[in-house]
Structure 1
C-alpha cells in the first residue's frame, strides 16, 4: 500500500514538473481532436401533426464521432477565446410509440461556437480550464427518414438556431515546444424546430431538446 501511495505521489509530481511555459498573451493554440457528439433530440412540443402520429411518440438523435479543429487566442496569460470547426452527421429515430422508426435522415450539423475560457494551474504544469459562450447551429441537407416518407413527407427542414455552450477541460504539456495533450467536454443548450412537408404543404412540426454533449481528445500546438 505504501508503494502504491508513493507511485501516485511520483505521478502527481511529474505532472507539475515545469516542461512547458504557461501560455502568454498573444499566443495562438491549435487543437486537432477526435470528438464524440452525443445529442438528445427529444420532442418537447408537437406544434402541428398532420401525419396523425401515435400517442407517446418520442425521438432520439444518434451519436457520432468526427474530427474537429479548435483555434484559440490568448487575450491574457489566463484568458482566451476559442472557436471550433467541424461537421457531424446524425439520424433522428423514433422512440416510445415509434421505437425503431427513422424520422430524419443524415442531417449534417455545423456547431459554430465561440467560448471565453479561463485557465488555471501552475506555470509549466497541467492547465485546467472552464469556459462558456454563444453558439449557432447550422443544419444542412436533412431529409425525411424512411418512416416519415412512408407517411407522406417528401421534404424536411430543421431551422438554424442560436444556443449556448459551457465547457471544461485540461491541457497536459508534453514538451517545452508548445505540444500538449488536450481533453475537453462541452454541453450545448438549444431548442430547434423540425418541419416536414409534403410538396410545399407542412404536415408535421415538432420542437426538440437537442442539447448535445461534445467530448473531445487530441493534441494541442501552441505558437
Structure 2
C-alpha cells in the first residue's frame, strides 16, 4: 500500500508540473473527498475473560469507504491547519480462535482530527507533509451477533487520543481556486473494548486501530 501511494503521488506530480496553473493565494481551502478507511483492529492485550475465549483468538476491523469534508486555513503561503469531518462505520470480527464470529457490530466513529501541514511549491502541483492530533469518538457501538448468545447486552469502545501523520498533493485545475487533491493519513490510536452481560464485565480487550486513511477528491481555495 505504501509503494502504491508513493507511485500515485509521484505520477500526479509529474503530470501536473508542466501545467503551471496560476497560484491562488486564498486563505481558506475546502475539500470534498472520497475516503478509504483501512483499520487494523487486532487484540494487543486480554484483560478480562470470564467466558473463556479460545486460545489465540485474534480480531480485525473491516475497511470502509466514506465521504469526507476537509477545511483548511493557510496561516502563510506554505503553512496551513486542517480539520476533517466524517463518520465511519466498522464491524470487528474474529479471524482466529473464533474465525468469522462477529464481535462488534456497526461501530460508528467520528475521528476528530487536526493537522499542521507544510506545502512545497514545485511549480504547479503542491505536495505537502503534515502531522497532528486526533480524538477517536465512538458514537454508537452494538454487540456483535456472535456475542449475543453468550448473554452480552452491551458493548463499548473507549474514546481515545492519538496522533496522525499526513502526506498528499494539491494539483490546480484552473486559476480560480479549483484543484484536485490526493491525501494519505496514518493514525496511531488504540481503544479498549468491553462486553457486558447485564452489569457484569465479561470481556475486556485492548485493540490497535492504527488505520490508513486514503482520500481523493476536489478542492476549492478562496
Q: Give the alignment's TM-score, normalised by structure 2.
A: 0.91
Residues 51 and 20 of structure 1: CA distance in aligned 2, closer, same or farther (over 3 Å)? farther
Structure 2 residue aligned with 1:113:
113
Structure 2 residue aligned with 1:8:
none
Contact 1:183 1:218 in 2 (8 A): yes
Residues 13 and 82 of structure 1: CA distance in aligned 2, closer, same or farther (over 3 Å)? closer
Match of 2:18 among 10, 16, 23: 16
Structure 1 residues 30-41: aligned runs within 5 Å: 30-41=30-41
- Extract unaligned runs of 5+ from structure 1: 1-10
Q: Secondary structure at the match of 2:53?
A: coil
- Extract unaligned runs of 5+ from structure 2: 1-12
RMSD: 1.4
Q: Number of residue pairs matched?
A: 210
Structure 2 residue aligned with 1:188:
187
Residues 68 and 12 of structure 1: CA distance in aligned 2, closer, same or farther (over 3 Å)? closer
Q: Deviations over 1:148-204 (max 9, x none)?
A: 112221100001000100010001110000000000000000111000001111100
Q: Which has the larger radius of gyration?
A: 1
Q: Give the alignment's TM-score, normalised by structure 1.
A: 0.91
Structure 2 residue aligned with 1:139:
138
Structure 2 residue aligned with 1:94:
94
Aligned equivalents of 1:58, 1:218: Cα separation in 2? 35
Q: Secondary structure at the match of 1:146?
A: coil
Q: 1:22 Cα shift?
A: 4.9
Structure 1 residues 204-215: aligned runs within 5 Å: 204-215=203-214
Aligned equivalents of 1:150, 1:22: Cα separation in 2? 59
Structure 1 residues 1-223: aligned runs within 5 Å: 12=14, 15-23=17-25, 27-123=27-123, 125-223=124-222
Aligned equivalents of 1:90, 1:70: Cα separation in 2? 21
Residues 85 and 203 of structure 1: CA distance in aligned 2, closer, same or farther (over 3 Å)? same
Structure 1 residue aligned with 2:9:
none
Aligned equivalents of 1:180, 1:203: Cα separation in 2? 51
Aligned equivalents of 2:25, 2:46: Cα separation in 1? 49
Q: 1:20 Cα shift?
A: 2.7
